[in-house]
Amino acid sequence: MIDLTKNVLIETEYPGVTLAAINWDHGVVLIDAPMRMEDIRLWRSAIFNLGGSMERLLINLDPHYDRTIGSRSMDCTIIGHEKMAGVFRNRPMTFKSQSTEIGAVAEQLDTIGSIRWAPPDITFTSEMHLHGNDQEIVLESHPGNATGSIWVRLPSEKIVFIGDAIVVNQPPFLAFSHIPTWVETLNLLLTPEYCDYVIVSGRGGVIRSDQVKKQIEWLIRVEQKLSDLAGGEGTADDTEKMIPLLLREYNQNIPELPMYKRRLKYGLIQYFNKNFSQVNG
């Protein structure tokens, strides 16, 4: 675990996403959940050792499999965006890793069986504020990278959790995104408002401003390539030819590379069909 302040810690060692725990007046506020039961037990034990009240809230930054599979087992009241609740209504009632191919970490874990989803108990549309005696936690809708994606901002500590808006050393998820909106959202992180903030990625922990710029450039390049493909009467199946070039800047000697290829294959096809198929239709 990494202590960002005396009341805020993050955990980057479990498979999947970066977790966080905020120790505040009314208990502990958690951001996202581990996937495997053994990790859930360890994480819950770590939270217990924080002391104080054991009232817990769990915030899911978006409905992605990797951050929501373990939510039910955390035994918390869950908060998420209203569109996140809509995603759960349209999913099969349970998750089975063998039946998905979106390039999620959850698909690689043999210890995950059939999991029942836990939709949010509390939802909001634009913004939600949690108040303690001297603390405030702000939940904000920040669309672009995923349906129902949000940020969690701690104004007094100058910390912001941005989920999969930025991912580190791996390609982002494109399937449920809208790149122009995503880029507009990311540009907020380069404004003076966030110059003193610690920015925490949902996959990679604390990040730097140059990593924000790098992802913006990558996304703009993807959008342009897909636009050119559509203008040249290409099809969604043709997007697979883009994968080697888009993966070139990532480490080619890692065991996760096949997963990243599946992630891009699925994401590019879905994104093209939703945003460019009408060009050739």
Is 257 within the bounds of a domain?
no
Is 16 within the bounds of a domain?
yes
Is 172 within the bounds of a domain?
yes
Is 201 within the bounds of a domain?
yes
d(CA 251, CA 257) in angstroms, rounded, equals 8
The confidence band for 132, taking pLDDT boundaries of 50, 70 and 90, is confident
d(CA 205, CA 194) in angstroms, rounded, equals 17
pTM given for the model? 0.93
pLDDT above 60 (res 119): yes
Q: Which sign, positive or negative, has the C-alpha torsion 151, 154, 209, 32?
A: negative
The fraction of the chain above a pLDDT of 70, given in percent, is 93
Is 46 within the bounds of a domain?
yes
Query: Is 203:167 a contact under the CB 8 Å cutoff?
Result: yes
pLDDT above 80 (res 149): yes
Domain that holds residue 83: 2-209
Is 274 within the bounds of a domain?
no
pLDDT above 50 (res 281): no
| CATH code at position 81 | 3.60.15.10
pLDDT above 50 (res 142): yes
Q: What is the pLDDT of residue 1?
A: 84
The fraction of the chain above a pLDDT of 90, given in percent, is 72
12 contact partners, CB below 8 Å, separation of at least 6? 2, 18, 19, 204, 205
Is 244 within the bounds of a domain?
no
Average pLDDT for the chain: 90
d(CA 171, CA 247) in angstroms, rounded, equals 7
pLDDT above 70 (res 274): yes
The number of distinct structural domains making up the chain is 1
* Rg of the Cα atoms in the chain: 19
Strands (E) across 82-164 are located at 94-95, 115-116, 122-124, 127-131, 136-141, 150-154, 159-161
Please give the residue that has the higher pLDDT: either 99 or 142. 142
Is 102 within the bounds of a domain?
yes
